[in-house]
Structure 1
């Protein structure tokens, strides 16, 4: 039998707490293999994703592709694109893509165009994100993440606000990513896709 591929992310003894509150996680250790991992936790899912993205302080040992790493370090290593960010409001989808590209040097323009089409976003390209619905903003974030080429990809409530065609498009795209096997995806609250994707594992801290 072929050996299992090495994990993309290794986390040892993570501790995460908001100031003045009991820790959400204390001593959490896990590995993320290539492919899709579902994050099932009673609390703290968004906070854990933010900690891995480097936008929320946490302590612990982190290794990315076998090398010591700190969340937030390394251009192109992590894609964690929050569609709720108000800084997006004055930007069109393509202007947002131009802003993201320096942070995602493995960006694939052809993939960006393909996912914009699959999510039905071409008619919105001249609009600013502030003019779009919550679901359309999320589709822009998903298209950018799928085009970004990052080794570690963090998706929070990826299916929230999606219509059926967009949910099908996301399922197809993530299944293709699972088959590629060269990136790790951690999905929190993947409603509607729990039984429809080839999960490499479930993280249930």
Structure 2
């Protein structure tokens, strides 16, 4: 694991998570995640998605403490979660909403970069779908909507789970280009969970599961 000397945004102290009877995904893990893009790397089934859910505050850790923008888990769960952009790519909770309404609903309480949203709409070829409800979109198009909304959001912590899944080559280039821009801007941390290495994006840190110490 290599962590760059950037101002910490997410403080992780002695984090532990394990499903009953399984080896821990994180065991007494402490780290400081700074601004920029962090790669969470691991093989299929290693627990990347699970760890993102723990870091998002939607799955309780079995030990330790997370602090983000002054809000800590487990003490101030709602305040903590308001600092995070995370959507389970497989969720159907927003299916009745329109595409643009859906994106706006996840960033209603923070500044939203409309220019970046539009650039991602173009780069992901989402324009023909903007007037549709989410349930009308393919799984791949839904993922693109969430990626665009996440990257246009200004929440301090953004968590992306296997963001290249289902993307065509042009959309992948748009994703990497945007992540490279975000990495240079400062002020927010993006954690990308992926079984593949990220090319062309300057990384603040690389984490490999399982995480200890």
Output the TM-score relative to the length of structure 2.
Answer: 0.85
Describe the superposition over 1:10-63 as per-residue Cα deviations: whole angstroms up to 9, x where unpaired.
101111123454433221122211111111234111111000111101031222
Instruction: Give 2:172's match in structure 1, choosing from 164, 167, 186.
Output: 167
**Match status 1:82 vs 2:88:** yes
How far is 1:115 from its partner?
1.8
Describe the superposition over 1:45-98 as per-residue Cα deviations: whole angstroms up to 9, x where unpaired.
111100011110103122224x35127433641111223111122222112123
Which SS does the other structure have where 2:131 is aligned? coil
How far is 1:131 from its partner?
2.0
5+ residue gaps, structure 2, are none
How far is 1:111 from its partner?
2.7
Q: CA RMSD in A?
A: 2.1
Whole-Å separation in 2 of the counterparts to 1:12 and 1:127: 43
Q: Indicate conservation of the 8 Å contact 2:13/2:64, yes or no.
A: yes
User: Which has a greater percent of strand?
Assistant: 2
Structure 2 partner of 1:153: 158
Output the TM-score relative to the length of structure 1.
Answer: 0.88
- Using a 3 Å threshold, how does the CA distance of structure 1 residues 127 and 201 change in structure 2: closer, same or farther? same
Which SS does the other structure have where 2:88 is aligned? coil
Greater RCO, 1 or 2 (C-alpha within 8 Å, sep 6+): 2
How far is 1:188 from its partner?
0.6
Aligned residue-pair number: 200
Whole-Å separation in 2 of the counterparts to 1:199 and 1:183: 13
Mapping of residues 31-42 of structure 1, within 5 Å: 31-42=32-43
